[in-house]
Amino acid sequence: MKSPKLSLGPILYYWPREQVLDFYAEAAEWPVDIVYLGEAICSKRRLVRTEDWLELAQRLEAAGKTAVLSTLTLLEAESELINLRRICADGRFMVEANDLGAVNLLEGRPFVTGPSVNVYNQRTLARLAALGLKRWVLPVELSRDTLAEMQAARPEGVETEVFAWGRLPLAYSARCFTARAHNLPKDDCQYRCLDYPDGLTLSTQEDQRFLALNGIQTQSAQTFSLLGQLADLRRLAVDVLRISPQSRGTGQVVAAFRECLEGRRDPAQAAAALEALMPAGPCDGYWFGESGMVAHGGGAA
C-alpha cells in the first residue's frame, strides 16, 4: 500500500512578513511534499503580497516541493476578484480553489478544491473532475465512513487529501470576530489578528475552551489530529494528509507524521508528545461521525 504524501495547508493566521518567510525557509527543509501558499481568509492581510507568494512558490519548487496557490474563501469585493484572476491566470502553479468563483476561472486546467468547497458526494466529485479537478480536500465535517464511500466511487486521476492536523476551519463571515472582540469596526481593525498567531480562543461561561476566532473565520479551539488513524487512512488510499500550519512546532508535527508513516515511530507515543503543541487539546470526533469536538485519540478505530 502506498504511503500518503504530506502537505502544508495555507497559513490561516496573520503573521508578520518575516515570520512567514522564516516559516517557509524552514519548511523547505521539512519532509513535506506539497506546500499550499496564499491568503485564504482575509483580503486585508497584505504583509505578504501576491508577488511574494509567487516568489515563495518558486523558491519552494526549487527546493523540491510542489507549490500550490491557495485562494480566498469568501469572495465579495471586486478587488478580491481582481486578485483572484491574477492568481488563476499565472499558470505556473496549480491553484487551490476555495470558492466556486475560482473554479469558474480555473476549469479546463488542473486544479484543487479546498475544504470549503462542498464536495459531499460522488456526483459532485465526478462533475468537478470533468472540469479539471486533480485533487479535492475532504470537507472537515465528513466522516471516515463517508470518505470510504467517496473513495470507492472516486474518478480516475483524482487525488484525495484529508485535513489531518490543526484547528479546524468551521465557519466564515463578513464580520471580523477578532475586531469585534476588541470593540473595533472591521474597517478599522488595526490588524489585531497579528496578536493571535494561532487564533483567539473563545470559551464558554464555564471556561470550556470551545472555538478560536481568526478574523472572519471561526475555528475549533481544539486541534484536530488524525495521527492515530494512519493505518486507516492508508487502507482508504488517501493520497495526501494536510497539516495546517501553527505558529510553533509545525516542523515537529510534520516530522511526527513522517516518522509514523515510515514506521519509525509509534503513533500513540507521537500523538501524546504532540499534545503539548495543541493550544486547547485534541479533537477527532468528525472522523468517527460524531460531534467534531469529541476526542478519541489514537487508540480508537
Partner 1 sequence: MELVCPAGNLPSLKVAVDNGADAVYMGFRDDTNARHFAGLNFTPEKMHEGIRYARQRGRRVFLALNTFPQPGGWERWRAAVDRAAELGVDALIIADLGVLDYAAERWPELARHLSVQGSATNYEALRFYQRHFGIRRVVVPRVLSLPQVAHLVENSPVEVEVFGFGSLCVMVEGRCLLSSYATGQSPNTYGACSPAHAVEWREIGQGLETRLGGVLIERYGEGENAGYPTLCKGRFRVGQNTFHAIEEPTSLNTLELLPQLVAAGVAAVKIEGRQRSPAYVAQVTRVWRAALDACARDPERYSSRPEWDAELARVSEGAQTTLGAYHRPWQ
CA-to-CA distance for 233 and 145, rounded, in angstroms? Answer: 11
Q: Smallest gap, in angstroms, from Cβ of residue 297 to partner 1?
A: 18
Q: Which is nearer to partner 1, 152 or 273 (CB)?
A: 152
Q: Smallest gap, in angstroms, from Cβ of residue 264 to partner 1?
A: 33
How would you class 244 by CB atoms within 10 Å of its CB: exposed for 0-12, middle for 13-18, buried for 19 or more? buried
Q: Smallest gap, in angstroms, from Cβ of residue 23 to partner 1?
A: 26
In this structure, the dihedral spanned by the alpha carbons of residues 85, 86, 89 and 92, taken in order and rounded to 10 degrees, is -140
Measured between its terminal Cα atoms, the distance across the chain in Å is 19
State the angle between helix axes of 17-27 and 250-261 in degrees (0 to 180), rounded to the nearest 10.
20
Q: Which is nearer to partner 1, 5 or 180 (CB)?
A: 180
Q: Which is nearer to partner 1, 126 or 194 (CB)?
A: 126
Q: Smallest gap, in angstroms, from Cβ of residue 175 to partner 1?
A: 6
Q: Which is nearer to partner 1, 82 or 276 (CB)?
A: 82
Q: Smallest gap, in angstroms, from Cβ of residue 102 to partner 1?
A: 7
CA-to-CA distance for 77 and 79, rounded, in angstroms? Answer: 5
Q: Which is nearer to partner 1, 186 or 234 (CB)?
A: 186
Let me know how long the chain is. Answer: 301
Q: Which is nearer to partner 1, 67 or 140 (CB)?
A: 140
111-123 burial string, b = 16+ CB within 10 Å, else e? bbbbbbbebeebe
Q: Smallest gap, in angstroms, from Cβ of residue 250 to partner 1?
A: 23
CA-to-CA distance for 35 and 29, rounded, in angstroms? Answer: 12
